[in-house]
Structure 1
Amino acid sequence: MPEVTPTTIAERVVEAILAQKLAPGERLGEQQLAENFGVSRTMVREALMQLQARGFVAVQSRRGWFVVEPSAEEAR
């Protein structure tokens, strides 16, 4: 099985968003993602920060990570 990296996790989350398995506004739990991928929360956090930089997710202080609602143009 290939090694799971923050980039791999980020790609899988993007795939889930694009496949509409993760809805805009949906909360992304670090612990749940870490368990799903069998990695530490630190790796999940790195992946989420990559996605934040690309505009796929946003972080809200003391609330967690959320899927961003894309504009019509971004959705294309």
Structure 2
Amino acid sequence: MIVDTLGLTDIPEEVLMKAHRYGEQIGADKVVIGPEGRRKENYVLAFWRGEGKNPFILGAIYSDGSDHLYSFHS
């Protein structure tokens, strides 16, 4: 699985590991991780399968350690 950090070098290791683990669990081929908001303490995730133009699941990992995934398919 490809993990794209959009060129960011300061993403915490635990965020990278959690995003990678979620990607493997849901069968994603690629996850893009980016900052959410100005403080850059929270991160948004977008998961892709194959060559699709749009992600099939979005998610977030928050600075307090909580997280959430949002599915677009039933």
In the superposition, the TM-score normalised over structure 1's length comes to 0.28
Instruction: Please identify which structure carries the higher strand content.
Output: 2
RCO comparison, higher one (Cα < 8 Å, 6+): 1
In the superposition, the TM-score normalised over structure 2's length comes to 0.29
